[in-house]
A = this chain, B = another copy of it.
Amino acid sequence: MSYNLLKGKRGIIFGALNEKSIAWKVAEQAHEEGAVFTLTNTPIALRYGNINDLATATNSQVIPADATSIEDLSMLLDKSQQILGGKIDFILHSIGMSMNVRKGLKYDNINYDFYHKTIDISAISFHKLLQLAREKDAINEWGSVVALSYVAAQRTLYRYNDMADAKAMLESIARSFGYIYGRDKKVRINTISQSPTMTTAGSGVKGIDGLMDFTERMSPLGNATAEECAGYCITLFSDLTKKVTMQNLFHDGGFSSMGMSYNAMSQYTKGLNAEVGDDE
């Protein structure tokens, strides 16, 4: 089902790795909705994923870029405008990485070079992108920029580690830059706080199965999928949400507003009883 919501709009989509990626789904739906866009990811990610299939399917070009590099981002913005034939209307930032998580370094034993890298990749890359776009005046008035975040920015989840701090900073950047870019050029900037999602990145997190079972039972509508997140992104890129900015928007089936559900508690109580059983 498509609505032509993005007809005539030009975009840049960061972070599509493979068909499980949220960014992948966003690209597919943006294409269906009439947008043209470029795809970008790091050279390494491009090697491991199959983004070329996506490029073919959506009739778009892939531009390799390291999102922490001013030069690469600058080239990306220039080239995208050139390829697409004008200023950009929407951008999806779906980027995050923690070497501390990858290396299994716990939050009370982190490596500070990795910590800076986590922040650089997962948060400051967003600022660099916006500062460059602003400098180049690369985004059309009423353009829309969305970055993907997670509830860990507000509430601690064990094992999410320094990514929580990166997401908190990412959401702050959306507000800080949202003020400036909104005031000067009417560009809106928001973050979407998405349910835990079984992407390639997500499935690497230890214990993600248990967590997703919990959030599924806590959320009255269940976890939001990557496809559903893409649909929500489309609404934020469309002209129907022009006055929404500087917001962190939960797309999580209701999880963020739940204290305890009947379903999750029933499951939890089985654990209590199981324990009682263990004691016998």
Query: Footprint of B on A, CB under 8 Å?
Result: 1, 3-5, 70, 106-110, 112, 115-116, 119-120, 123-124, 127-128, 130-131, 134-135, 151-162, 164-165, 167-169, 171-173, 175-183, 186, 188, 195, 207, 210-211, 213-214, 219-222, 224-225, 228-229, 231-232, 234-235, 238-247, 249-254, 256-265, 267-275, 277-278
Q: Which residue of B3, B159, B271 is within 8 Å of A274 (Cβ)? A: B271
Q: Which residue of B229, B238, B267, B273 is within 8 Å of A268 (Cβ)? A: B267
Inter-subunit contact A243/B272 (CB<8 Å): no
Q: Which residue of B4, B169, B269 is within 8 Å of A165 (Cβ)? A: B169
Q: Please name all residues of chain B whose beta carbon is closer than 8 Å to the beta carbon of A238 when the two chains form the complex.
A: 235
Inter-subunit contact B176/A107 (CB<8 Å): yes
Inter-subunit contact B172/A164 (CB<8 Å): yes
Inter-subunit contact A211/B265 (CB<8 Å): yes
Q: Which residue of B1, B127, B213, B224 is within 8 Å of A239 (Cβ)? A: B1
A257 to B155 alpha-carbon distance, docked (Å): 5
CB distance from A12 to the nearest CB of B (A): 19
Q: Please name all residues of chain B whose beta carbon is closer than 8 Å to the beta carbon of A261 when the two chains form the complex.
A: 156, 158, 179, 183
A156 to B177 alpha-carbon distance, docked (Å): 9
CB distance from A266 to the nearest CB of B (A): 8
Beyond A165-B176, A240-B234, whether A259 also contacts B195 by CB under 8 A is no
Q: Which residue of B127, B175, B243 is within 8 Å of A253 (Cβ)? A: B243
14 contacts between A and B (CB under 8 A): A3-B3, A5-B5, A107-B177, A165-B169, A179-B261, A210-B272, A211-B265, A213-B268, A235-B238, A246-B254, A247-B250, A249-B249, A267-B275, A273-B274
Inter-subunit contact B165/A172 (CB<8 Å): yes
CB distance from A233 to the nearest CB of B (A): 9
Q: Please name all residues of chain B whose beta carbon is closer than 8 Å to the beta carbon of A169 when the two chains form the complex.
A: 119, 165, 168-169, 172
Q: Most chain-B Cβ atoms within 10 A of its Cβ — which of A161, A219, A220, A234?
A: A220
Inter-subunit contact A108/B164 (CB<8 Å): no
CB distance from A69 to the nearest CB of B (A): 11
A241 to B241 alpha-carbon distance, docked (Å): 12
Q: Please name all residues of chain B whose beta carbon is closer than 8 Å to the beta carbon of A275 when the two chains form the complex.
A: 267, 270
Q: Please name all residues of chain B whose beta carbon is closer than 8 Å to the beta carbon of A131 when the two chains form the complex.
A: 108-110
Beyond A3-B4, A127-B115, A220-B246, whether A259 also contacts B176 by CB under 8 A is no
CB distance from A28 to the nearest CB of B (A): 14
**Other contacts beyond A156-B179, A228-B243, A232-B243: 14, CB < 8 A:** A108-B180, A109-B131, A119-B119, A154-B257, A154-B259, A155-B257, A162-B176, A164-B176, A182-B220, A221-B243, A235-B238, A235-B241, A243-B252, A270-B271
